[in-house]
């Protein structure tokens, strides 16, 4: 099985005619994702690659095609409205790839989407890929293969590296999820861990965290109290200086909280094996499978 997306995913791409939207839509289609619609205001009635109908609004796209998932590739000033529009149109799962969405915008978007009963992944995330079934976002389709490992990460590039190394060792994945590194996002480590626990085909889980905040500590406690499956992990930012943001908007050590050492200790205290380097994750996974 997989979590959040599968062969029944019907995708609408918001911003399908833009540079990033068009490039990644082609990649998703090549992987086998069922892209049923695109949305670009003012270009309704056109077709993308002579196959995918383009609509002026998400509401029209959902009504005409039955789209249940959205991928958002629009500039930061318009991303909040795109998320609002998708949720208001009845989309069940919204994946926002856009980086640089203002935190203040997310304080309004997140509760609205929850109120609508939808799920948001992101913003500022690479999306997700259910191996052999569907991909929504920008994770390369050729770096993984179907298998028994679920992966959730705050870092897109570390997701790619670990998944590729796992594949090189003959280990595939059920679903790879990049939750993004912004301070306010739609889907947490715990959301993904709960979904992997409920997935009968996921036999082990990899969690990749980074400095800043306490999400990893919360996830570690959740693992010890709720997961029956083995979990291994890696924490990025072990040499980051306090007070300096590293990469993601949420990757900043404030005072004594959010350090890599604190997160590694939380993992170890709760039974999560911790890799010293990303490539060492492979050995830890082999040990628990």
CA distances from 210 to 36, 120, 283 (A): 35, 21, 20
**Sheet-wide strand order for 127-130:** 134-137, 127-130, 173-178, 146-153, 204-210, 231-236, 273-274
Q: What does the alpha-carbon distance between residue 173 and residue 205 come to, in Å, rounded to a whole number?
A: 9
Alpha helices in 67-129, H assignment, sequence order: 76-88, 103-115
| Cα 184 to Cα 191: distance, rounded to the nearest angstrom | 14
Strands 93-96, 69-72: pairing is parallel
Residues 6+ apart with CB under 8 A from 255: 242
Whether 112 contacts 85, CB under 8 Å = no
Phi, psi (rounded to 5 degrees) for 234: -150, 140
The Cβ-side half-sphere exposure at 242, using a 13 Å CA radius, reads 8
Task: Confirm whether 24 is a catalytic residue.
Answer: no
**Chain-centre distance for alpha carbon 25:** 17
Q: Which of 10, 119, 135, 248 is catalytic?
A: 248
Both tokens of 237, joined, read 């930012």
The answer to whether 215 and 193 are in contact (CB under 8 A) is: no
- The kind and range of the H/E element at 72 are strand 69-72
Beta-bridge partners for 276: none
Active site residues: 248
């Amino acid at each position: 099985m997989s979590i959040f997306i599968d062969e029944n995913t019907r995708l609408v791409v918001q911003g399908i005619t833009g540079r990033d939207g068009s490039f990644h839509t082609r990649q998703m289609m090549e992987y086998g994702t069922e892209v049923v619609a695109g949305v670009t205001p003012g270009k309704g009635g056109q077709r993308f690659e002579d196959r995918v109908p383009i609509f002026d609004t998400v509401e029209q796209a959902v009504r005409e095609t039955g789209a249940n998932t959205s991928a958002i590739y629009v500039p930061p000033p318009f991303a909040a409205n795109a998320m609002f529009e998708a949720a208001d149109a009845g989309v069940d799962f919204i994946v926002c790839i856009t980086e640089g969405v203002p935190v203040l915008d997310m304080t309004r978007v997140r509760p609205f989407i929850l109120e609508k009963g939808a799920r948001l992944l992101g913003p500022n995330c690479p999306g997700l890929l259910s191996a052999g079934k569907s991909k929504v976002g920008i994770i390369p389709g050729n770096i993984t293969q179907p298998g028994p490992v679920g992966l959730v990460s705050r870092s897109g590039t570390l997701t790619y590296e670990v998944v590729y190394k796992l594949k090189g060792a003959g280990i595939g994945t059920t679903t790879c999820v990049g939750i993004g590194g912004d301070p306010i996002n739609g889907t947490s480590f715990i959301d993904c861990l709960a979904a992997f626990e409920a997935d009968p085909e996921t036999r082990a889980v990899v969690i990749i965290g980074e400095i800043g905040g306490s999400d990893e500590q919360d996830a570690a406690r959740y693992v010890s109290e709720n997961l029956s499956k083995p979990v291994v992990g890696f924490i990025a930012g072990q040499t980051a200086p306090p007070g300096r943001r590293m990469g993601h908007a949420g990757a900043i050590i404030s005072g004594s909280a959010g350090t890599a050492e604190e997160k590694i200790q939380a993992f170890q205290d709760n039974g999560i094996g911790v890799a010293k380097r990303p490539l060492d994750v492979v050995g830890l996974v082999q040990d628990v499978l």
